[in-house]
Amino acid sequence: MSSLAQYVEEAIRRISAGDVQGSHAAGVYNKAANQFEKEFAAYVSVVARIPNAGNLTLGQLIHRLETMPNPHPSQLAAVVANAKAVNDPWKRLKHRDDPPMEELLGGLRAIVRALPLPQKAGTT
Amino acid sequence: MVRALLFVCSGNTCRSPMAAAAAAARLGSSVTVRSAGIECDEGLPAAGFAVQVMQERGIDLSKHESTDVADLSLQEFDLVVALDPSVGRQLARFGLKRLEEWDIEDPYGGTVETYRATANAIERALSTLLSAIQ
């Protein structure tokens, strides 16, 4: 299991137990999403052949995948769906909202579902 | 003499940015004032209601971006203020020059009135602190 997956599993446990709440949970979410964005960029740089993927936001990376010709659309759709589920609460935080704990937990569970990211488009 | 002052809460999107901005407004350029979160990573803006209630006090928080306490050299600060006891316990392990502990409730998820109450509590605690260190 990767260090990100371990961190997120532990974050889900801590938030579910009430050990981490409120803005602390938002901070934990930001930390996890930042790291997920880096790993997702590395994945997209390979499957979509984008050299500067590390400069793109998670939303931009998702868009690149959605608009990419792909021989395995259903498998890529799962990757995209999980990435969107990670990005949605993160966008709310970046737009100064206070998303509820359930929403943050949903995004963290999406990171767990998404990892490990496939090595190339169409693989699982 | 306090020349560098750090406020720390958990996520660095509500309480500590509000406290740091309020302190900076009172202290001017004579003291370096920063804020950070105990576990947050970089890049989150201040919560919308935090920006709004500080704007009501004539203080601009719109350009704030979160900083993780792990990314700062804590020894550079003469005084570190933990916004609640839980944060204080986590900061104690860093061997700080001086640690002050407040008890300000996290307004996350609350209404604008919740955030106003937080700003008022911060102002009260800040007045006490500044009268002690100035």
Query: Do the strands B32-37 and B4-9 form a parallel or antiparallel pair, or are they unpaired?
Result: parallel
Percent of chain A surpassing pLDDT 90: 74
> Residue B108: which of B46, B35, B54 has the closest Cα?
B46
Each residue of B48-61: pLDDT tens digit? Answer: 999 999 999 999 99
pLDDT in tens, A56-111: 999 999 999 988 887 667 778 889 999 999 999 999 999 999 999 999 999 999 99
Question: Measuring CA to CA, how many Å separate B5 from each of A33, B24, B46, B71?
Answer: 29, 9, 19, 16
Coil, helix or strand at residue A44: helix
Contacts of A93 in chain B (CB under 8 A): 13, 44
Angle, helices B15-27/B48-56, rounded to nearest 10 degrees: 30
Chain A residue numbers with beta carbons less than 8 Å from the beta carbon of B66 are 27, 30
Choose among A22, A25, A93: nearest Cβ to B44.
Answer: A93
The pTM (predicted TM-score) of the whole model is 0.92
ipTM: 0.91
Q: Where are the beta strands (DSSP E) in B4-74?
A: 4-9, 32-37
